[in-house]
Structure formats: C-alpha cells, structure tokens
Structure 1
Amino acid sequence: MPDEMELDFQSALRVAGISIPEDRYAIMLDAYHQYRKLVAVLDEPTPYADEPAAAPHLAASPVR
C-alpha cells in the first residue's frame, strides 16, 4: 500500500501527464522524498544573524 507521500507523487505525475518507466520509478520516488525534505528545510525562516543579506557591505563609506 503506497504511503501518503507516494500518493502525492503519483498524483503530481498524473496531473502533469508524466509517465515514468517502471525501472526508474523507485529512484524517482526517492528523489521526490528528498525534494520534499529539502523544501521543508528551505521553508523554515533563516535567522537574521545567518541571513547573507544582513552581512555588512564593503562599501560602508559614503558615496562620492
């Protein structure tokens, strides 16, 4: 019985009209699992101290 994530994967394939050869299905499902893990990490807000945009700029002197 497929788990919820596999059902999501199958649904996404069906909506997109994509078919995957049977011998590639397992590796593509694994890639989908890894993608979902990455999305979960990237969805977390970045602490201000870790945000690259918060780094001091080298051009801190006044513009001429």
Structure 2
Amino acid sequence: MPEEMELDFQSALRVAGITLPEDRYPVMLDAYRSYRALVEILDEPMPYAEEPAAAPRLAPSPRR
C-alpha cells in the first residue's frame, strides 16, 4: 500500500503540473499520507448528535 500511495501522489503532482524540489519530496509525501489518513476518518458518517451542522444555536436569530 505505501508504494501505491506514493504512485497516487506522483500522479496527482503530474496532473496538477507541480514539480517539487528533491529535498521537499519526502516531506510532501508524508503530508499526503497524513491527508489520506484524515480523509479516511472524515469519510465515515457521523451520528446525528455529533454532526457539527446539527449543533443548536445559543442565541436566537434577530428578527427584522
């Protein structure tokens, strides 16, 4: 899987037309791996009670 993720990263760079300096490549690859891990977590549905959009408003809306 790590090699496949690196190939995905290289493909994304190529499609976007981005060239990284050699010394920045490992850091950016690590950031990409962290991003992918976060996406996996955020892709899981949240229970309604935990959904931030369902948070109650603390102050009433002003009427005009």
| Fold conserved between structures, TM > 0.5 | yes
Q: What TM-score range do you get, normalising by the shorter chain?
A: 0.7 to 0.9
Same amino acid, percent of matched pairs: 75
The count of corresponding residues between Structure 1 and Structure 2 is 59
Which amino acid counterpart does residue 45 of structure 2 have in structure 1?
A: P
Higher CA-based Rg: 1
Query: Could you say what the CA RMSD is over the residues aligned between the two structures, in angstroms?
Result: 1.7
CA distance in 1, matches of 2:12, 2:57: 43
1:1-64 matched pairs, under 5 angstroms: 3-58=3-58, 59=60
Q: Which runs of 5+ in 2 are unaligned?
A: none
SS in 1 for 2:12: helix
CA distance in 2, matches of 1:17, 1:57: 44
Indicate how the Cα distance of structure 1 residues 51 and 25 shifts in structure 2: closer, same or farther if over 3 A, else same. same
CA distance in 2, matches of 1:27, 1:46: 31
CA shift, 1:57, in A, is 4.2
CA shift, 1:49, in A, is 1.7
Normalising by structure 2, we get a TM-score of 0.78
Normalising by structure 1, we get a TM-score of 0.78
CA distance in 2, matches of 1:21, 1:55: 44
